[in-house]
Structure 1
Amino acid sequence: MDSAAFITTFVTLLIVMDPIALAPLFLAMTRGMDQARRRRIAIRACVTSALLLCVFAAFGEAVLGFIGISMPAFRIAGGILLFLTALDMLFERRTKRREDQVDNDDHDDPSVFPLAIPLIAGPGAIATVILLTGQQEGITGLSWVLGIMFVVLALVFISFLSAGLLERALGKTGINVVTRVLGMLLAALAVQFVLDGLRGFGLAA
């Protein structure tokens, strides 16, 4: 994997998982819990997300081939999905939907739902790992994508543990600004995925 592919993979996964925006949601879901319990929930959520994304990264393309979906077609569909996610980030709809999921959750342990699924390993993240692994060749490319994914999940874990500090440092306005900037970057990356898919069909230069 060259440096450009490395940066693209890291930035895409970082934007889609969005550790900064997840921090205040984690804080809301673990309100009143002690630090030890919060740590256990954070670990369980990140491990569950990692296992789910590993399965899709390793077998997602094979499943697509089995049901007759070509990788260029999935790149176009995935790019459109990521573009819609970017629009949600730009207009705050994504944050509002995540907050609604938090408000509607009555479980004592939110680690699997809604933290792991769908907040960390949601449709956007699943589509992204399939797209990124499809762009790399062989086990080496898969290993690189998974390695970068684990780094991003580590950042998510760190953001969970420092959720209170992060929220106080950035404030609601700061988090909104960061989310919008990341949304702009994700929109550009989504368009690139669509162009790559069109190029696979010979429809773009």
Structure 2
Amino acid sequence: MPINIKELLTVTFTLFAIIDIIGSIPILISLKGKLGEIREARATLISGGLMVLFLFIGQPFLNLLGLDVRSFAVGGSIVIFILGLEMVLGHELFKSEPDIRASTVVPIAFPLIAGSGTLTTIISLKANYDQTTLLLGILLNLIIVYVVLKSLAFIERLLGPAGLIAVRKFFGVILLAIAVKIFATNAQGLFK
């Protein structure tokens, strides 16, 4: 089955906005200073494994709870909307407590990269896009994540503080629009 490039771009940019690796650069730089180093490949592989695992077992897990993908997609769209608002308004609603003694896995791979927002988005997108498109979107994002992790110092110098804020707000607006689309697509099916 041929890949729909438009759908692949939508999935890739949606996950890119949710993962918000660019917006996480200040946190990552701080963690790198506290941890001494970040194992880029390990963090990327573990976060990718979590995303792929959730893509495949997310549906059976929902069935176990008595939920369908449309219901989860509507719930996920609300979470995505709140994340978008958080990015645009600059107020942190979802707080994590990074443990500086932990390895690269926590908090970088989870919850920073493959956190609840990312996993919710994957299952929400599964309601609208095929599995191959989602896998390719995840893979493209993992490549971006790895490159960003390897290039933290360079990216920080390149964007500067104002640039990081502008990028975060831009992707926040995109997330708001995506959340509205996912909600509108799936909510009507719930009330028939």
Give the TM-score normalised by structure 2. 0.90
Match of 1:124 among 117, 123, 127: 117
Q: Are 1:113 and 2:106 an aligned pair?
A: yes
Distance 1:170 1:148 in 2: 25
Cα pair distance change 1:68/1:194, threshold 3 Å: same
Match of 1:44 in 2: 42
Q: Are 1:148 and 2:148 an aligned pair?
A: no
Distance 1:9 1:165 in 2: 27
Q: Are 1:195 and 2:189 an aligned pair?
A: no
Structure that is richer in helix per residue: 1
Cα pair distance change 1:112/1:81, threshold 3 Å: same
* Cα contact 1:75–1:193 (8 A) shared by 2: yes
The AA in structure 2 aligned to 1:23 is I
Cα pair distance change 1:85/1:135, threshold 3 Å: same
Per-residue CA deviations over 1:144-195 (Å, capped at 9, x if unaligned) read 2112101111101111111111111111111011100100000000011110
Distance 2:82 2:93 in 1: 13
Cα pair distance change 1:72/1:108, threshold 3 Å: closer
| CA RMSD between the two structures | 2.1
Match of 1:66 in 2: 64
- Stretches of structure 1 that go unaligned for 5 or more consecutive residues are none
Give the TM-score normalised by structure 1. 0.84
Cα pair distance change 1:96/1:177, threshold 3 Å: farther
Cα pair distance change 1:202/1:178, threshold 3 Å: same
Match of 2:128 in 1: 135
The AA in structure 2 aligned to 1:114 is P
Distance 1:7 1:169 in 2: 25
Match of 2:20 among 18, 21, 36: 18
Distance 1:185 1:148 in 2: 17
Q: Are 1:53 and 2:47 an aligned pair?
A: no
* Cα contact 1:89–1:95 (8 A) shared by 2: no
Cα pair distance change 1:187/1:67, threshold 3 Å: same
Distance 1:184 1:31 in 2: 31
Per-residue CA deviations over 1:35-89 (Å, capped at 9, x if unaligned) read xx53xx1111111111111111011012212321122211110000000101111
The AA in structure 2 aligned to 1:178 is V
How far off is 1:201 after superposition?
2.6
How far off is 1:96 after superposition?
9.1
* Cα contact 2:31–2:100 (8 A) shared by 1: no
- Stretches of structure 2 that go unaligned for 5 or more consecutive residues are none
Match of 1:160 among 135, 139, 149: 149
Q: Percent identity?
A: 26
Segment drifting more, 86-95 vs 67-76: 86-95
Cα pair distance change 1:121/1:33, threshold 3 Å: closer
Q: Are 1:177 and 2:166 an aligned pair?
A: yes
How far off is 1:202 after superposition?
5.3
